[in-house]
Every structure is written in C-alpha cells, then in structure tokens.
Amino acid sequence: MPVNPIDALSIAQDLLRCPSVTPADAGALGVLERLLQAAGFDVHRVTFSEPGAADIDNLYARIGTSAPHLCFAGHTDVVPPGDVAAWSHGAFAGEVHDSQLYGRGAVDMKGGIACSVAAVLEYLAAHGGQPHDSGQGSISFLITGDEEDVAVNGTVKLLQWAAARGEKFDHCVLGEPSNVEALGDCIKIGRRGSLSGTLIVDGVQGHVAYPHRASNPVPDIAALIVALGNDPLDAGSDTFQPSNLEFTSVDVGNPATNVIPAQARARFNIRFNDQHSAESLQALIEQRVETACGNRIKARIDWLPSNAAAFVTKPGAFTDLVAAAIEQVTGRRPELNTGGGTSDARFITHYCPVIEFGLVGQTMHKIDERTPVADLATLTQIYRGVLERYFA
C-alpha cells in the first residue's frame, strides 16, 4: 500500500504537544497509532498493570510477516518540565525558534521517534508499502509510556507480550539521544548496570555532654564511606569503563544540636560493568563493609531491587551497517560506546541485538530542551539509510 510521507518535524511537534509526563500518555501514542495504521501497520495498544505502580499504555505495530525483522523502539513518556515559567518557549508547545525545536521530549526522545516514523514512512512509500520489493521482511515499532519512571509496566512487559504472540526480532534500533557533541559521533552498543542501596549504621542516642553514655554513628558512617571509596571495584575493560560507587546522600534525621543520633544512613548507587552481576556486587560490598566494621561498628545494607544489568551488543555486521549509514550522511564514523545511564535496551538485549542511536543529548531533562530542526532531517536520513541497507 503506498503511503504519503510526513516529515519528522511535524510528527515531533504533534508528539511534543501531548504533555505525556510519566506515567500519563496524554494522546502521544494515539499520534503514532493513526500514522502507522494509515501506513498499513497492524497496531496494538496494550495496557499493563502492577500493584503499587500506575497502569501504562504501550504500543506495538508491525508491517510484514517474515524475517528479517527490524524493530524501532522508544518511549513517549517524558520527565516533568520543572519551572514552566523558566522556559523560553512553552514546554509542551512544540515551537520552532531560530531553527530549534523546543519542548520537553524534543531530544529524549520524541524527536528520535518522529525521525524513525518519518524514515519508515518514506521508505515504505518508495517500496510499494512493503519492507522489501519482494514482499519479504518486517518493520515494527515497540513504544512504551513507562521508561522515565519505574519501568515495570512498559518495555519489559511489552517484550514478554510480543514473545508470547510469537514475535521474533532480528535487530533493534533504540532512538535514545546517544550522541554527545554532534549527530553521528556515537552509537551506544551497551550500558553499565545500576544497583542502589542504603548503608545503615546503628548507634546509641544520648546527650552530647555525656558521650560515654551514647554511641555516635556519624563518625562510623563517615569512616565506612571513605573505606568503600578507597578501593576500586575493577579496572574496566576494552568495552566498559571502570565500575563506580557514588554516595548520593547522608542523613541522621536529627534536628537537634545537643543530641547524639541513634542512626545514620547513606544512600549510594553503583554503575557496574559486565565483570559483575547485581548479586556478586552485593556480596563484594557487604564483605568490604564487614571488614571495615571490625567488631565495633554495627552496620548493614538495605538493597533496592535491580532490573538493570550490564550488557553489550558485540560489534559486527549490524553495528557496521548502522555506522556506514551514519558516515554516509554525516561524514563521521561513530564511536562505539557503552557510557551513560540505563535505558530500555537492557530489556531488549534479551531478545535481539540492540543499538542506541538518536539525537544529541546535551539538553535532555533540562529547561529549554531543544534540538536543531536540521538534526531531525539528518537523523531521518540516517534511519532511511539503515532501512535501505538492512533490506537490501
């Protein structure tokens, strides 16, 4: 079925005008549903629930029924805009000023989704409405509204739902803002894992004038913080930078100046590479705490559940294909990188090789989040080049 291509800027503006602050959808998935249905996609809206979490609407759309199957993934939920009065242009207005598209999600990652949809519509229009002139191949979109929050009713469950239907993906492009300085400088081929916990030191409350009748946990937790930071977790590898543990808060919950507190707590996060699992890291940190405590300090760790393990997509034919499409359009040969935070690629990697390539991430989550309009056109060209090579 022939389709009428729609430019990425128009799609991005329609998406930005939906205030889909996680977990709200605010019509964003409906924008994509209408476009993809008109292009001949089989579109499904799937809602997932979890006790203690918001119900989340998700979208899966596919055209074609055979391999090879290329999936474009992403999320339409966004972080809150912050002080809306501080924005130069409306956070949800989708306005263009000085050749820049402003709005929450312009970079992370409604702009990337708009480019992938525009590229696919252009590609289908040039190939009789099918992934390949022969009728072979499939293209799909896996879009969630639950990435910026707890990520329990989004991509992880949508992938399970798709697998139960017999869907099989050969490769996936996740349109997260992977580039650091300029479009084309970086492809994310993996991510470090994330593990969080709270270090708790128990003392004995008492009057500061009678310290012998109390046990102050503040010096003890300070000593443990130093001890845990003294020895590196590893030296990194050819693919990953070293793992790092960062303390993010220290609190004793004590408003008084003349009372020794009963307890001190310090929250921390570890970003770890593929030399560790969450379980092995917990054991390592607990052993280091036990050693540092000796027989005097009473300490323990409360761990938060982790659904973010380290992963890597090995360089090969698929990464070469994407890099070639990027280089042809931008003139840059992208670096293959595993830095940055977590993303839904950590779930997708269990189903197929996945890379992340989207817009430049310098303004994501900031006031006046924005992207050059020219970058939208360029990214659309790159995605179109990926499609042409993939189904060649």
Is 57 one of the annotated active-site residues of the chain?
no
Is the Cβ–Cβ distance between 237 and 312 less than 8 Å? no
How does 211-244 read in b/e, with b if 16+ C-beta sit within 10 Å? eeebbbbbebbeebbeebeeeebbeeeebbeebb
- Distances in Å between the alpha carbon of 52 and those of 147, 151, 153, 349, 390? 16, 12, 11, 27, 41
The pairing of beta strand 138-144 with beta strand 53-63 = antiparallel
d(CA 99, CA 115): 17
For residues 115 and 110, give the distance between their C-alpha atoms in angstroms, rounded to a whole number. 9
Structure tokens given for 294: 């000796």
In the block, tokens 């707890």 appear at 150
Give me the phi and psi of 95, to 5 degrees please.
Answer: -90, 150
Out of 14, 25, 57, 77, the active site residue is 77
Angle 96-97-103 (CA atoms, 0-180°, nearest 5)? 50
Q: Minimal CA–CA distance to 319: which of 175, 172, 114, 112?
A: 172
Alpha carbon distance 141, 286 (integer Å) = 42
Catalytic residue among 25, 122, 147, 176: 147
149 is catalytic: no
Tell me the C-alpha distance between 33 and 193, whole Å.
32
Q: Are 39 and 23 in contact (CB under 8 A)?
A: no
Angle at 162 between CA 74 and CA 179, to 5 degrees: 20
CA distance 252 to 272: 28
Q: Check: CB of residue 149 under 8 Å from CB of residue 52.
A: no
Angle between helices 373-390 and 317-330 (to 10 degrees): 140
Q: Measure Cα distances from 138 to 66, 133, 248, 317 in Å.
A: 6, 12, 45, 19
Question: What's the rounded Cα separation, in Å, for the pair 21 and 105?
Answer: 9
Residues marked active site are found at: 77, 147
